[in-house]
Amino acid sequence: MDCKLNTIVIYTKTNLLIKQVWKETCREILGANYRGEITSGMDGTHDEESGHYHGRALDFKKDMPEDFWEPLRKRAQGKLNKLKKGKYLVLVERTHFHIQRQKNSF
Ligand SMILES: [Zn+2]
């Protein structure tokens, strides 16, 4: 899974995990040919409290039909819930998917 041009991503353990889980989820639901893309890491404008500025949040392209949004969100959330390495949140935003590890959650 590549990054959008000019995206700044810091590969903390958390971000690597988020990327891995999203990649797996997309493969399972959309098939092995789905490429996907990271659309934001540290860059962009986010909430001050956002995990983006702390290496614990990534945004992903929302380029599949709407019917897939919720199944993707649910499956990724389910996988992250099973990890027990912190609390994660998967959101379907207007223009992208947002995944982050919650603050102070290990
Ligand atoms: Zn985000």
Q: How far is the CA of 43 from the centre of ligand 1 (A)?
A: 10
> What pLDDT is attached to residue 104?
67
> What pLDDT is attached to residue 50?
85
Q: How far is the CA of 40 from the centre of ligand 1 (A)?
A: 7
Q: How far is the CA of 58 from the centre of ligand 1 (A)?
A: 6
Summarised one tens digit per residue, pLDDT across range 18-44 is 999 999 999 999 999 999 999 999 888
Instruction: Please identify every residue whose CB atom is under 5 Å from ligand 1, which is an ion.
Output: 59, 98
Summarised one tens digit per residue, pLDDT across range 50-74 is 899 999 999 999 999 999 999 999 9
> What pLDDT is attached to residue 95?
95
Q: Is the pLDDT reported for residue 96 higher than 90?
A: yes
Q: How far is the CA of 92 from the centre of ligand 1 (A)?
A: 10
Q: How far is the CA of 59 from the centre of ligand 1 (A)?
A: 5
Q: How far is the CA of 99 from the centre of ligand 1 (A)?
A: 7
Question: What pTM did the predictor assign?
Answer: 0.91
Average pLDDT, the chain: 92
Q: HEC profile for the chain?
A: CEECCCCCCCCCHHHHHHHHHHHHHHHHHHCCCCCCEEEECCCCCCCCCCHHHHCCEEEEECCCCHHHHHHHHHHHHHHHHHHCCCCEEEEECCCEEEEEECCCCC
